[in-house]
Amino acid sequence: MQKITPFLWFDKQAEEAAQFYTSVFKNSKIGNVSHYTKDGFEVHGMPEGTAMVVEFELNGQQFQAINGGPHFKFTPAVSFMISCENQEEVDYYWDKLSEGGAPEAQQCGWLADKFGLSWQVVPTAMGDLMSKGTSEQKGNVMVAMLKMKKINIAELEAAHNQQ
């Protein structure tokens, strides 16, 4: 059993979000879904039968989502990082998760999806390129990365190899 589970607060889109995320990530599934009843309506304000908590799994990572109303919104202060082995993976996750999202929230591999949740789509090669080599090489990679929205591995490598 996973000790810590991310618990995501949605207004009324928890089930839609879980369906979307499980369609993007392989080896994913939706688990139990509990629903609001008429009991407690004066507190929760949700129509009877509305999904309350949706359990789902993305690549073995468990999540839960709640339809809790409009009281809280996602911010970029919390994001989920996706480690990508190659440019094909970066492109796949970037394209899928940014669809319908906020273009103004895209910078340096970060994006906000159509639900407002922030993701970092990061190639594993970026860590090596930013930590190995001379100070100048690492600086070149940093400058190149700061100009990007979606990370481009070939451009980072070119910046690293620049003399």
* 1-70 and 74-163, same CATH topology: no
Model pLDDT, residue 140: 96
Could you read off the pLDDT of 17-58 as tens digits, one per residue?
Answer: 999 999 999 999 999 999 999 999 999 899 999 999 999 999
| pLDDT class of 12 with cuts at 50, 70, 90 | very high
Per-residue H/E/C for 64-84: EEEECCCCCCCCCCCEEEEEE
Residue that the structure tokens 């620049």 belong to = 162
Could you read off the pLDDT of 112-145 as tens digits, one per residue?
Answer: 999 999 999 999 999 999 999 999 999 999 999 9
Q: How far apart are CA 26 and CA 7, in angstroms?
A: 20
Q: Per CATH, which fold does 1-70 belong to?
A: 3.30.720
Collapsing DSSP states into helix, strand and coil, what is residue 102? coil
Q: How far apart are CA 151 and CA 108, in angstroms?
A: 7
**Amino acid, res. 131:** S
Model pLDDT, residue 1: 79
Q: Per CATH, which fold does 74-163 belong to?
A: 2,3-Dihydroxybiphenyl 1,2-Dioxygenase; domain 1 (3.10.180)
Model pLDDT, residue 36: 97
Q: Over 80: is that where the pLDDT of 163 sits? A: no
For residue 57, which of 103, 20, 15, 18 has the smallest C-alpha distance? 18
For residue 21, which of 122, 35, 149, 31 has the smallest C-alpha distance? 31
Could you read off the pLDDT of 60-72 as tens digits, one per residue?
Answer: 999 999 999 999 9
CA distances from 143 to 24, 103, 108 (A): 30, 21, 10
Helix (H) / strand (E) containing 89: helix 87-98
- Sorted by where each begins, the domain ranges of the chain are 1-70, 74-163
